[in-house]
Chain A
Amino acid sequence: MTTHTSPASRHSNVETGVPGLDTILGGGLVGGALYLIEGMAGAGKTILSSQIGFHRVLQGEKVLYMTLIAESHDKLLGHLSALSFFDEKAVAEKMFFVSGYHALMQGGLDGFLKQVALSLHQYRPGLLIVDGFRSAREFSETDLSLSKFIHELNALVAAMNCTTLLLAPLSGNEPHPEHTLVDGLIELNRYSDGMRRTREIEVHKMRARDHMLGKHFFRITDSGHVMFPRLEARCAEQPGPADLKARLGSGIPRLDELLGGGFIKGSTTTLMGASGIGKTLLGLQFLSAGAQRGEKSVYLGFYESPQRLIGKAESVSIPLQAACDDGRLTVQWQPAIELAIDELAATALATVKRTGATRLVLDGIDGFRDSAMRTGRFGLFLNALTHQLRAAGVTTLLTEEVPFNSDPAVMRGMRLSAMTENLILLRYAETDTGLHRMISVVKQRESAHDSSLRELVITGKGLDVVDAFPGAASLLGGRGAAAGIVGRLDS
């Protein structure tokens, strides 16, 4: 005689449909499992669970939203109706709102469990949301009675193959009995830095899933939650064998000579120098050279609007307007205000992938760094970002501003520059007749290069690299520093 097994396969995956969340969860929720979502008031628990609910409705499931002491149903629906995922037609047809409060008041936790069983049988939902679970906590006379209730609820929703989300206030560091009995524990919280606040999610526990540990930034938009799994926590894709022969020209032949034939395809290079020395123009020249070959390029900057940027390039004979108009060049400008680096990185990567870009300029890595809320992670973050860019097959130039006449070997940017394969240093040399822009390739990790000092000349006719004038090295602000940098980077 055969053995009957449940038609729902064990650990079936339930996608949440919330951008980024399924990646953090290790694929999604487990079908028929019980989850606790904790967060302080205003953390976004109701929006998150409703967003998942309406997504499950789109997948053809029914959803039951059961409230204890929480918002009234009409207020709840009123607030949700402003969000793009809200589907008014689904309410009462596919998404049902019922109160469990009376059952809890009259019959205690046993009465509430009975009501849940009744409702699951009546509505047959694939997803159950219990909002205001705090009331059940407060109604339990002892930890044991609450543990017994959670145990029974877990068995009940498993038997009904109904994935269940319990929404409760944040319990801080206090251990609650339900933490050990639920299948997953998700915390929505905020991080403060001075006057800034950001939202963060952390998955503390996720049975049967290899979830991402630690905190991840998220935003609540008109479309609901958008989550950004920490780049540095994602599994690194193994890069394929590097093609060291394929080079991308900069559009300046003498610079390509210094680089041994151009930028290595898929490499990341930092252009480092003081304000006004030509970092942005060099980056734009690189993009323009790509556009002339029919390649797609992306520029992401913080300080100059697209109109000013293109005007500036055209004034030194770097043609970009046509490329911008026909889509060969995508310019993204993010004013340097309170930005989220995870979102910036996600935007950059998505734009590169969407446009099929082969060249990218991230102009002002300082803009990224100044936006970072947790500055301690920035080095690993940048490393992860460059890794992902390499995996996307794009050749990237980052610009990094340093103070005038400082010793580059001790500047804060050096550790960050060490995370890119190549480093081009731009320094001012002052003579009786004026300032000269000096350029040298300090580091090129994957191939030989010419480390000679050259002069970068910027005129209305364009950019050029020419031989350095005699004695230029002795006039550099950070004289002899380049040798020091190489020594430090290699050690």
Chain B
Amino acid sequence: MKTIMVVDDEFDLLTIWSLLLEQVGYAVVTAPDGAVALDLIRKARPDLILSDCMMPVMSGPELCAALFDDPDLRSIPIILCSAALDIPRQPNPVIAYCRKPLSLDMLLPIIEKMLP
């Protein structure tokens, strides 16, 4: 079973994406900001990261930069999300950008493409 890490400071989104992604067959771990996420990623590498942009302590783009700087973590696929119109582009090799609000119908094909 592949593992998706969901990173968002809004607790309701962590709850519902855990419920929905588990139902379609993924294991889910969650983190409320980029810093907690980075700690968890270093302990157990997920197969994909679904992250918000605007978060306290460490933002989504900062998390992307930290992952890019670590050769062992650089290749983890990332879906970077924001409610803002322009999502800052990141250097990570496998990355997709999604505008919030997210829907399962939008997200699933992207996840399936990144996690064949």
Task: Return B11 CB to nearest CB of chain A, in Å.
Answer: 7
From A1, A6, A8, A121, contact of B97 by CB (8 A): A1
> Is B95 among interface residues, defined by CB-CB distance under 8 A?
yes
> Is B40 among interface residues, defined by CB-CB distance under 8 A?
no
Task: Return B101 CB to nearest CB of chain A, in Å.
Answer: 6
Task: Return B103 CB to nearest CB of chain A, in Å.
Answer: 4
From B11, B20, B23, B106, contact of A5 by CB (8 A): B106
> Is A190 among interface residues, defined by CB-CB distance under 8 A?
no
Q: Contact string, A280-303, partner B, CB cutoff 8 A, digits 1/0? A: 000000000000000000000000
Task: Return A126 CB to nearest CB of chain B, in Å.
Answer: 12
Alpha-carbon gap, A121 to B25, bound state (A): 12
Which residues of chain B from 12 to 52 have any CB-CB distance to chain A below 8 Å in the complex?
A: 12-13, 15-17, 19-20, 23-24
Alpha-carbon gap, A121 to B105, bound state (A): 11
Which residues of chain A from 317 to 345 have any CB-CB distance to chain B below 8 Å in the complex?
A: none
> Is A3 among interface residues, defined by CB-CB distance under 8 A?
yes
Alpha-carbon gap, A222 to B49, bound state (A): 53
Alpha-carbon gap, A284 to B113, bound state (A): 76
By a CB distance below 8 angstroms, the chain A residues around B12 are 148, 151-152, 154-155
Alpha-carbon gap, A166 to B95, bound state (A): 38
Give the most central of A1, A6, A159, A161: most B CB within 10 Å: A159
Alpha-carbon gap, A159 to B13, bound state (A): 9
Q: Is the CB of B105 within 8 A of A7?
A: yes
From A7, A118, A148, A152, contact of B106 by CB (8 A): A7
By a CB distance below 8 angstroms, the chain B residues around A160 are 20, 103-104
- Please give the number of chain A residues whose Cβ is less than 8 angstroms from any Cβ of chain B in the complex: 25
- Say yes or no: A2-B16 contact (C-beta < 8 A), given A7-B105, A160-B103: no
Q: Is the CB of B101 within 8 A of A159?
A: yes
> Is B110 among interface residues, defined by CB-CB distance under 8 A?
yes
Q: Is the CB of A6 within 8 A of B101?
A: yes
Residue of B nearest to A181 (CB): B12
Alpha-carbon gap, A1 to B15, bound state (A): 29
Q: Is the CB of A6 within 8 A of B102?
A: yes
By a CB distance below 8 angstroms, the chain A residues around B95 are 1
Which residues of chain B from 73 to 108 have any CB-CB distance to chain A below 8 Å in the complex?
A: 87, 89, 95-99, 101-106
Q: Is the CB of B87 within 8 A of A3?
A: yes
By a CB distance below 8 angstroms, the chain A residues around B19 are 113-114, 117, 156
> Is A4 among interface residues, defined by CB-CB distance under 8 A?
yes
Q: Contact string, A234-247, partner B, CB cutoff 8 A, digits 1/0? A: 00000000000000
> Is A252 among interface residues, defined by CB-CB distance under 8 A?
no
Q: Which residues of B contact A (CB under 8 A)?
A: 10-13, 15-17, 19-20, 23-24, 87, 89, 95-99, 101-106, 110
Query: Apart from A155-B12, A160-B103, what are 13 other A-B pairs with CB-CB below 8 Å?
Result: A2-B97, A5-B106, A6-B103, A32-B103, A114-B19, A121-B24, A121-B104, A151-B12, A159-B16, A159-B20, A159-B102, A159-B104, A161-B103
Query: Which 7 interchain pairs have the tightest Cβ spacing?
Result: A117-B19, A155-B12, A156-B16, A3-B97, A152-B12, A151-B12, A5-B99
